[in-house]
Amino acid sequence: MNGRLNLSGDDWQLTGWYRNQWRFTVSMELGETFPPPVGPIAATVPGAVQSDLLQAGLLDDPNRGLRSLSGEWVNNREWCYEKKFDIPDGWPLDRCELVFEGLDYAGEISLNGVKLGEFEGFFWPHAFDVSPYIRTVSEGSNHLRVMFRQSPEIDGQYGYTHLVTTLKPRFNYVWDWCPRIVPVGIWQDVCLYTYRAAKLTDFWPHATLNDDLHTGQVRFAASVETLAAGPYRAEYRLKDEDDAVQYEWSETLMLKGGVNSFEHMAEVGEVQSWWPNGYGKPSLYTAEIKLLSEQGEELQAVVKTIGFRKLEWVANENAPVGALPYTLVVNGKRIFIKGVNWVPIKPLYGSVTEQDYQQYVGRFCDMNVNLLRVWGGAIIEQEAFYQVCDRLGLLVWQEFPQSSSGISNLPPDDPAVLATLERAAAQAIRERRSHPSLAVWCGGNELMWEGGVPVDERHLNIAMLKRLVAELDPGRRFLPASASGPTFVADASRFGRGLHHDVHGPWQYLGDREHYAFFNSDDALFRSETGTPGTSRAATIRKWADGLSVWPPTRDNPYWVHRGAWWIQWEQLGALFGLWAADADELELYCRVSRYMQAESLRYAVEATRRREPEASGFIVWMGNEPFPNNANTSVIEYDGMPKPAYYLLKKAYAGLHLSARYNQLAYKEGDTFACGIFIHNEHSEIEGLEATVNVSLYGADGNLLKRCVYDCSLGFGAQLAGDFSWIVERPAHGVFVLRLEAVAGEWTVERNEYAFAVESSAPLEPLLQLPRAQIVIEREPEVLHTAFILVNVSPVCAIGLMVMERDPGQFVCFDRNMVVLLPGERLQMNWAQRNLKEGSEFIPIIEGLNVEADCNEWQHNLKEES
Same domain? 166 vs 205: no
What does the alpha-carbon distance between residue 81 and residue 10 come to, in Å, rounded to a whole number?
Answer: 11
Q: What is the DSSP letter of 484?
A: B
600 and 319 Cβ atoms separated by less than 8 Å? no
pLDDT for 835: 72
Domain containing 33: what range?
3-194
Please indicate, yes or no, if residue 371 is contained in any of the structural domains. Answer: no
> Which of the pair, 760 or 142, is modelled with greater confidence?
142
Q: What pairs with residue 445 in β-bridges?
A: 403, 482
Please indicate, yes or no, if residue 346 is contained in any of the structural domains. Answer: no
Same domain? 702 vs 820: no
**pLDDT-based confidence at 715, cuts 50/70/90?**
confident
Instruction: Tell which of 741, 769, 797 closes a domain.
Output: 769
**pLDDT-based confidence at 786, cuts 50/70/90?**
confident
What does the alpha-carbon distance between residue 685 and residue 587 come to, in Å, rounded to a whole number?
Answer: 46
Concatenated DSSP letters of 390-445: HHHT-EEEEEPS-B--EEE-PPP--HHHHHHHHHHHHHHHHHHTT-TTEEEEES-B
pLDDT for 687: 84
pLDDT for 32: 55
What is the domain-level CATH number for residue 164?
2.60.120.260
Closest CA to 805 of 840, 856, 863, 754: 856
Summarize the confidence of residues 282-292 as an average pLDDT. 97
Same domain? 781 vs 858: yes
Same domain? 692 vs 825: no
Same domain? 791 vs 860: yes
827 and 788 Cβ atoms separated by less than 8 Å? no
pLDDT for 31: 52
Same domain? 725 vs 816: no
Summarize the confidence of residues 805-824 as an average pLDDT. 93
What does the alpha-carbon distance between residue 843 and residue 838 come to, in Å, rounded to a whole number?
Answer: 10
Same domain? 149 vs 268: no
- How are beta strands 215-226 and 258-270 bridged, if at all? antiparallel
Same domain? 69 vs 165: yes
Closest CA to 76 of 16, 166, 146, 147: 16
435 and 384 Cβ atoms separated by less than 8 Å? no
Angstrom CA distances, 126 to 98, 106, 222, 243, 549, stand at 8, 11, 21, 34, 47
What is the domain-level CATH number for residue 750?
2.60.40.10
Summarize the confidence of residues 315-344 as an average pLDDT. 97
Summarize the confidence of residues 333-339 as an average pLDDT. 97
pLDDT for 823: 97
Summarize the confidence of residues 323-338 as an average pLDDT. 97
**pLDDT-based confidence at 729, cuts 50/70/90?**
very high
**pLDDT-based confidence at 748, cuts 50/70/90?**
confident
Q: Structural domain tally of the chain?
A: 4
What does the alpha-carbon distance between residue 98 and residue 107 come to, in Å, rounded to a whole number?
Answer: 16
Q: Does the pLDDT of residue 636 top 90, yes or no?
A: yes
Please indicate, yes or no, if residue 796 is contained in any of the structural domains. Answer: yes
* Top-ranked range on mean pLDDT: pick from 431-435, 580-584, 862-866: 431-435
Mean residue pLDDT across the chain:
94
Please, which residues have CB within 8 angstroms of residue 142's CB and are 6 or more apart in sequence?
Answer: 84, 85, 86, 87, 111, 112, 134, 135
pTM: 0.96
Please indicate, yes or no, if residue 75 is contained in any of the structural domains. Answer: yes
740 and 676 Cβ atoms separated by less than 8 Å? no
Summarize the confidence of residues 106-117 as an average pLDDT. 96
Q: Does the pLDDT of residue 34 top 80, yes or no?
A: no
Same domain? 132 vs 84: yes
- Structure confidence by residue, pLDDT tens digits, 517-572: 999 999 999 999 999 999 999 999 999 999 999 999 999 999 999 999 999 999 99
Same domain? 165 vs 222: no
Please indicate, yes or no, if residue 812 is contained in any of the structural domains. Answer: yes
pLDDT for 747: 75
Query: What proportion of the chain, given as a percentage, has pLDDT over 90?
Result: 88
Instruction: Tell which of 730, 747, 769 closes a domain.
Output: 769
Please indicate, yes or no, if residue 468 is contained in any of the structural domains. Answer: no
pLDDT for 854: 64
Instruction: Tell which of 291, 306, 321 closes a domain.
Output: 306
Strand, coil or helix: 571: helix
- Structure confidence by residue, pLDDT tens digits, 660-686: 999 999 999 999 999 999 999 999 888
**pLDDT-based confidence at 810, cuts 50/70/90?**
confident
Q: Does the pLDDT of residue 26 top 60, yes or no?
A: no
Q: Is 394 exposed, middle or buried (0-12, 13-18, 19+ CB in 10 A)?
A: buried
Angstrom CA distances, 237 to 205, 215, 254, 307, 803, stand at 10, 17, 20, 14, 50
pLDDT for 192: 97
Same domain? 171 vs 52: yes
Angle at 291 between CA 286 and CA 293, to 5 degrees: 155
pLDDT for 115: 96
pLDDT for 439: 98
Please indicate, yes or no, if residue 364 is contained in any of the structural domains. Answer: no
**pLDDT-based confidence at 1, cuts 50/70/90?**
low
Q: Does the pLDDT of residue 206 top 50, yes or no?
A: yes
Please, which residues have CB within 8 angstroms of residue 140's CB and are 6 or more apart in sequence?
Answer: none
Concatenated DSSP letters of 666-733: SEE-TTPEEEEEEEEEE--GGGTT-EEEEEEEEEETTS-EEEEEEEEEE--SEEEEEEEEEEE----G
Summarize the confidence of residues 237-247 as an average pLDDT. 96
Closest CA to 397 of 377, 379, 365, 373: 373
Same domain? 780 vs 750: no
pLDDT for 27: 47
Q: Does the pLDDT of residue 138 top 60, yes or no?
A: yes
What does the alpha-carbon distance between residue 585 and residue 471 come to, in Å, rounded to a whole number?
Answer: 60
Q: Tell me, rounded to whole angstroms, the distance of Cα 461 from its chain centroid.
A: 26
Q: Does the pLDDT of residue 30 top 90, yes or no?
A: no
What does the alpha-carbon distance between residue 221 and residue 289 come to, in Å, rounded to a whole number?
Answer: 9
Please indicate, yes or no, if residue 465 is contained in any of the structural domains. Answer: no
768 and 589 Cβ atoms separated by less than 8 Å? no
